[in-house]
Amino acid sequence: MLFEALLFLPMFVKHAWTAAFSPRGRYPAGVAAKAAALYEAAFYIWALTLGVFVPAVAAFAVIHLVGVPLYFGGYLARYSKYGKAYAVFEAAELIFLAALFLRLA
């Protein structure tokens, strides 16, 4: 359980930060954004192996795999006016992560 908790920790921190700050126009950028995109995609691929909430985890895996080239290409920075919508998505993902974590506990 400690291993899983350590894998979830960066996800909780990143999603709490973006849910709180993206409505104010602050987003992860540069190397941090790229590392987060790669980590999130890898996390959801790993989460598929847990066999819990598989359809939702698969959807998040696809969303994040598509997001990796968007982050690396700088395309998401052009849509900063959608900060509030992004914050809602991040908050919803944070709730999903909490449910997934509690299901494993």
For residue 10, the model assigns a pLDDT of 96
**Phi, psi for residue 93 in degrees, rounded to 5:** -65, -35
pTM for this predicted structure: 0.90
Residues of the chain with pLDDT under 50: none
For residue 56, the model assigns a pLDDT of 97
For residue 86, the model assigns a pLDDT of 87
